[in-house]
């Protein structure tokens, strides 16, 4: 059943199956700045699959011995997706672990590790880039192309909270 959310661009011009597998929904968080290369905070760029941000934060906490409150993220990312996001870990006075120990095939991959002077805070990233795969598309081709052009030009609403992430999302 289609949710009755407000629609920015009117009636949907067709139907499609979305998110039939995690690879159908990819989110790439972009900070908008580069970690400075020095400082007490380890900056981890992690890719996760079928795992929510808080579960991965807990894994980072367990590996590093750093309490969750001293680990920063810029935003929550979906569970049922492949997402790339940054974590900061306050490492003052602590030995740096081998971050590759976070890796698990098909689950978590360490993309980059750096250092920065400040903890990552909610909302500081510049943008999230989304890739969505639509399957079993049923729509008038011309109407769909017109709608896609409108989305490219104008963007989409930023739904957030329970209606977007769902319980445990």
The answer to whether 31 and 85 are in contact (CB under 8 A) is no
Place of tokens 């199956």: 17
The answer to whether 31 and 126 are in contact (CB under 8 A) is yes
pTM: 0.83
Which has the higher per-residue pLDDT, 19 or 168? 19
- For residues 145 and 151, what is the distance between their CA atoms, to the nearest angstrom? 10
Per residue in 20-64, pLDDT (tens digit) is: 999 999 999 999 999 999 999 999 999 999 999 999 999 999 999
Residue 163: band (very low, low, confident or very high) from pLDDT cuts 50, 70, 90: very low
Task: Establish whether 70 is a catalytic residue.
Answer: no
Domain 21-153 grouped into CATH 3.40.190.10? no
Q: Which of 34, 55, 70, 78 is catalytic?
A: 78
């Amino acid at each position: 059943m289609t949710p009755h959310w407000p629609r920015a661009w009117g009636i949907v011009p067709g139907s499609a199956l979305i998110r039939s597998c995690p690879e159908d929904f990819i989110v790439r968080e972009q900070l908008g700045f580069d970690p400075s290369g020095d400082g007490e905070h380890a900056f981890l760029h992690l890719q996760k699959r079928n795992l929510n941000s808080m579960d991965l934060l807990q894994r980072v906490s367990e590996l590093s011995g750093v309490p969750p409150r001293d680990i920063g993220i810029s935003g929550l990312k979906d569970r049922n997706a492949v997402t790339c996001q940054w974590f900061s870990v306050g490492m003052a006075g602590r030995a740096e672990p081998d971050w590759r120990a976070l890796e698990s095939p098909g689950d978590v991959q360490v993309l980059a590790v750096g250092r920065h002077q400040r903890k990552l805070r909610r909302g500081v990233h510049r943008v999230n880039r989304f890739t969505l795969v639509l399957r079993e598309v049923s729509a008038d081709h011309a109407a769909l192309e017109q709608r896609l052009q409108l989305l490219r030009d104008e963007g989409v609403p930023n739904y957030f909270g329970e209606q977007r992430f769902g319980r445990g999302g």
